[in-house]
Amino acid sequence: MYVEILAASTLITGAYLLGSIPFGLVLSKIFFAADLRSIGSGNIGATNARRVGGWPLGLATLILDMAKGAIPAAMGLLLFGRSGYMAQTAVCVAALAAFLGHLYPVYLRCKTGGKGVATAGGCFLVLSPVAVFSSLAVFIGVTALFKRVSAGSLAAAATLPIAVYFAEKSAVFVLGALVFFILILLRHRENIIRLANNTEPRI
C-alpha cells in the first residue's frame, strides 16, 4: 500500500513538472530569439508558436505539448493499469497534474501558461484513443467551417467527455474528461468573448 502511494505521489509530482515545461516558449527563444508571451495572443501554445516560426515551430510545439500529457498517462497505466476505480483515479490524477502544469507552469511562476488543448489531447490519446480521434474530427470540421482554431478547440473539448463515455464506459475517465473540458473552457474565456463579438482572429 505504501509503495503504491509513493509511486502515485512520485508520478503526480513528475507529471506536473513535465507538464510545466513551456516547450513553445523554449523553442521560440532558441530558434527565433522571440518571446511568445509578447507576440500575437501572448499564449505559449502551438497556435501562437506558428505565428512566430510558421508551421514547423507550431507542429513541434504541438507534438511536445501532447507528449507531456501522453507520457504521464502512459506511465500511470503502466504502473496501475486501468481496472478498478482506484487505478483509474490514479491515472487520471497523474494526467490532470500534467495538464495543470501546462496551464500553471511552475517554471513561469504559475503564470502565462497555455490553453491546454494539446496536452489534454495527449493525455486522452493514451487513455481513450477512439475518443480523441472523434474529438479531432470535430476540431477539424469546426475549424474548417469557422476558420478559427479556438472554436474548433472548444468544440473538441466539449465532445471529449461524450466520446469517452461511449468509448470507455468508465465513470472515472468521463469525470476526468469533464474536468479537462471545464478548465479548457475557463482558459478560453477571452476567446469566447471575441468569438461572440466576431473579433477572434481567423486562420
The closest of 123, 148, 125 to 198, measured between CA atoms, is: 148
How many Å apart are CA 202 and CA 11, to the nearest integer? 39
- Which CA distances in Å does 190 have to 69, 131, 151, 156, 203? 24, 27, 12, 18, 17
Degrees (nearest 5) of the Cα angle 69, 101, 123? 15
Q: Kindly report the number of other CB atoms within 10 A of residue 193's CB atom.
A: 11
How many Å apart are CA 194 and CA 41, to the nearest integer? 12
Convert the pLDDT of each residue in 22-74 to its tens digit: 999 999 999 998 999 998 888 999 989 998 899 999 999 999 999 999 999 99
How many Å apart are CA 101 and CA 190, to the nearest integer? 20
Mean pLDDT of the chain: 94
pLDDT over 90 (residue 14): yes
What grid cell was written down for 33? 530569439
DSSP 201: P
The closest of 3, 113, 93 to 48, measured between CA atoms, is: 113
CB 101 within 8 A of CB 20: yes
Q: Which residue has the cell 504521464?
A: 72
- Which CA distances in Å does 24 have to 51, 98, 106, 129, 203? 11, 16, 15, 24, 19
Convert the pLDDT of each residue in 63-103 to its tens digit: 999 999 999 999 999 999 998 999 999 999 999 999 999 99
pTM of the model: 0.93
The closest of 39, 193, 20 to 119, measured between CA atoms, is: 20
CB 108 within 8 A of CB 22: yes
pLDDT of residue 41: 82
Amino acid identity at 203: I
Query: Percent of the chain scored above 70 by pLDDT?
Result: 100
How many Å apart are CA 46 and CA 65, to the nearest integer? 8
Q: Which residue has the cell 463515455?
A: 165
